[in-house]
Structure 1
Amino acid sequence: MATASETSPAHPHTFTLAAALLLDSEGRALLVRKKGTHAFMQPGGKIEAGESALEAIVRELAEELTLDVAPDDFGYLGRFGAPAANEPGWLVDCEVFTLTTDAPVAAAAEIAEVRWFDPADTGDADIAPLTSEHVFPLYLASLTG
């Protein structure tokens, strides 16, 4: 897998990321909105050099949400590509992990807002393509399949 400083050979403008489908015991999904942006997305971020995707998501959740979790707490949802929500012309190549927790979270670092959503009904919120096209549909299908 490429490090954060590398780009995909298929597309020169690709962010290599790790993200979490963070669920509470009621099945709601926590999404974040970064400062200066409008789209809600999974918490997560770029994978740093020498870091695995799992190590990156553990670090990112601590930095962005003050959430302390162990690598063994996660499940693996998959690897997905989608247009970047806030950077026109860029793509994301993202490994997505799952975590169910009712631990308190707080917006930190570059996060402006955290909000819990029903994955089946996000209302009129602007939801990132990775979430709306891949993560939520796959999660919802797993509930009925």
Structure 2
Amino acid sequence: MLEQKTIHIAAAVMMDDKGRLLLVRKRGTVYFMQPGGKIEPGEDARSALIRELREELNLELSQEELTPLGEFTDSAANEPGYLLHACMFSMERRIQDVKPAAEIEEILWLSPSNISSNQLAPLTLNKIVPHVWPSIP
């Protein structure tokens, strides 16, 4: 049996002061997902996430602001046939004004009331939403 190819990323669970989850959609794609991106060779997950958040959302974060949430794996949304293995981090600071940069086309603030109406990436829908809002079926 062939081993499925895996993409390794670092991503963030970021909330605003209303308890909504920040999601992004990359240009040319349909799925919303956590902000973050691929871990470069020789880079640790926390450093990769800080770099990606700076590139994608113009956010400047320190290593100390990121708390490991765990590692999650699911089907990759934008690369058919690949698995996505994510080192997820949370942060205490509430995010308010973020604007898309680099390859990010759209930002979405997800709340429990608008989950079904959005196109969510498999990792977000299957792993992150139940982690953030355990009471949602």
Answer yes or no: same fold by TM over 0.5.
yes
Runs (5+) with no aligned partner, structure 2: none
Q: Is residue 2:98 matched to residue 1:108?
A: no
The percent of aligned pairs where both chains have the same amino acid is 44
CA deviation string 1:85-113 (max 9, x = no partner): 11111110110001242342110111010
Range with greater deviation from structure 2 (45-54 or 10-19): 10-19
Q: CA deviation at 1:134?
A: 0.5
1:50 is matched with 42
Q: Is residue 2:28 matched to residue 1:20?
A: no
Q: CA deviation at 1:117?
A: 0.8
Q: CA deviation at 1:120?
A: 5.6
1:6 is matched with none
1:76 is matched with 68
1:85 is matched with 77
Structural RMSD (CA): 1.8
Q: Is residue 2:129 matched to residue 1:136?
A: yes
Residues 119 and 73 of structure 1, relative CA distance in 2, 3 Å threshold: farther
Cα pair 1:67 1:104 within 8 Å, conserved: no
Q: Is residue 2:90 matched to residue 1:98?
A: yes
Aligned partner (choices 105, 126, 132) of residue 119 of structure 2: 126
Which letter does structure 1 place at the counterpart of 2:129?
F
Which letter does structure 2 place at the counterpart of 1:47?
I
Number of matched pairs: 134
Supply the distance in 2 between the matched residues of 1:52 and 1:92 (Cα, whole angstroms). Answer: 17
2:25 is matched with 33
Which letter does structure 2 place at the counterpart of 1:118?
S
Query: Normalising to structure 1: TM-score of the pair?
Result: 0.85
